[in-house]
Chains A and B, each alone.
Chain A
Amino acid sequence: MRLALTPSQTAGPFLAIALPWPDGPYVVPEGTPGAIAIEGTVRDGAGAPVPDALLETWQAAPDGTFPGDPGDPGGPRPSGFRGFGRCLTDAAGQFRVITLRPGVIPGPDGGIQAPHVDVSVFARGLLDRLVTRIYFCDEPAANEADPVLRSIAGPARRATLIAVELEGRPGEFGFDIRLQGERETVFFDV
Chain B
Amino acid sequence: MTAASTGRRRPGYERPPAGVHPPLDYPEYRSTILRAPKQPLLPLPHGPTEVTGPLLGEGRVQPGDADLTTRHAGEPIGERIIVTGRVLDSGGRPVPDTLIEIWQANAAGRYRLDVDSHPAPLDPNFDGAGRCLTDAEGRYRFVTIKPGAYPWGNHHNAWRPSHIHFSVCGRAFAQRLVTAMFFPGDPLFGQDPVFGSVPAAARDRLICRLDLRRTEPDWALGYEWDIVLRGPRATAFEPDEERR
Main secondary structure of the interface of B (DSSP, over half): loop
Do the beta carbons of B22 and A128 come within 8 Å of each other?
A: yes
CB distance from B3 to the nearest CB of A (A): 4
Say yes or no for A167: interface residue by CB 8 A criterion. Answer: no
CB distance from A141 to the nearest CB of B (A): 13
CB distance from A80 to the nearest CB of B (A): 12
Say yes or no for B178: interface residue by CB 8 A criterion. Answer: yes
Do the beta carbons of A19 and B45 come within 8 Å of each other?
A: no
A127 to B4, CA, bound (A): 37
Proximity bits, B4-29, A CB within 8 Å = 1, else 0: 11111000000111001111101001
Do the beta carbons of A60 and B49 come within 8 Å of each other?
A: yes
A63 to B167, CA, bound (A): 30
Residue in A6, A46, A84, A151 whose CB lies within 8 Å of B42: A151
A46 to B244, CA, bound (A): 32
Please tell me which stretch of B76-84, B169-177, B183-191, B209-217 contacts chain A, meaning at least 4 of its Cβ atoms lie within 8 angstroms of it.
Answer: B169-177
CB distance from B10 to the nearest CB of A (A): 8
CB distance from A104 to the nearest CB of B (A): 5
Question: Assuming the A-B contacts A58-B49, A190-B44, are A122 and B35 also in contact, with contact meaning beta carbons closer than 8 angstroms in the complex?
Answer: no
Give the chain B neighbours of A104 by CB distance below 8 A. Answer: 1-2
Residue in A4, A46, A125, A180 whose CB lies within 8 Å of B228: A4
Say yes or no for B64: interface residue by CB 8 A criterion. Answer: no
Interface residues of B in 189-229 (CB under 8 A from A): 194-195, 197-199, 202-203, 205-206, 226-229
Residue in A5, A17, A187 whose CB lies within 8 Å of B39: A187
Question: Assuming the A-B contacts A17-B112, A127-B32, A184-B39, are A8 and B179 also in contact, with contact meaning beta carbons closer than 8 angstroms in the complex?
Answer: yes
Say yes or no for B73: interface residue by CB 8 A criterion. Answer: no
Give the chain B neighbours of A69 by CB distance below 8 A. Answer: 5-6, 48, 52
Give the chain A neighbours of B116 by CB distance below 8 A. Answer: 13-14
Proximity bits, A91-125, B CB within 8 Å = 1, else 0: 00000000000011111100011001010101111
Do the beta carbons of B21 and A188 come within 8 Å of each other?
A: no
A189 to B50, CA, bound (A): 12
A179 to B162, CA, bound (A): 29
Question: Assuming the A-B contacts A44-B34, A180-B38, are A116 and B20 also in contact, with contact meaning beta carbons closer than 8 angstroms in the complex?
Answer: no
Say yes or no for B72: interface residue by CB 8 A criterion. Answer: no
Residue in B38, B91, B174 whose CB lies within 8 Å of A1: B91
Question: Assuming the A-B contacts A17-B111, A60-B48, are A5 and B229 also in contact, with contact meaning beta carbons closer than 8 angstroms in the complex?
Answer: yes
Interface residues of A in 1-50 (CB under 8 A from B): 1-19, 21, 44-46, 48, 50
CB distance from A46 to the nearest CB of B (A): 5
Do the beta carbons of A17 and B177 come within 8 Å of each other?
A: no
User: Which residues from chain B sit less than 8 Å from chain A, CB to CB?
Assistant: 1-8, 15-17, 20-24, 26, 29, 31-39, 41-50, 52-56, 60, 88-92, 101-103, 105, 111-113, 115-116, 127-131, 165, 167, 173-174, 176-180, 194-195, 197-199, 202-203, 205-206, 226-230
Write 17 A-B pairs (CB below 8 A) sorted by A numbering.
Answer: A4-B20, A5-B202, A6-B179, A6-B229, A7-B22, A10-B31, A13-B116, A17-B128, A18-B101, A66-B5, A69-B6, A83-B52, A105-B49, A122-B178, A125-B33, A128-B21, A190-B173
Complex A-B, nearest 3 residue pairs according to Cβ-Cβ distance, in ascending order: A71-B5, A125-B31, A84-B54
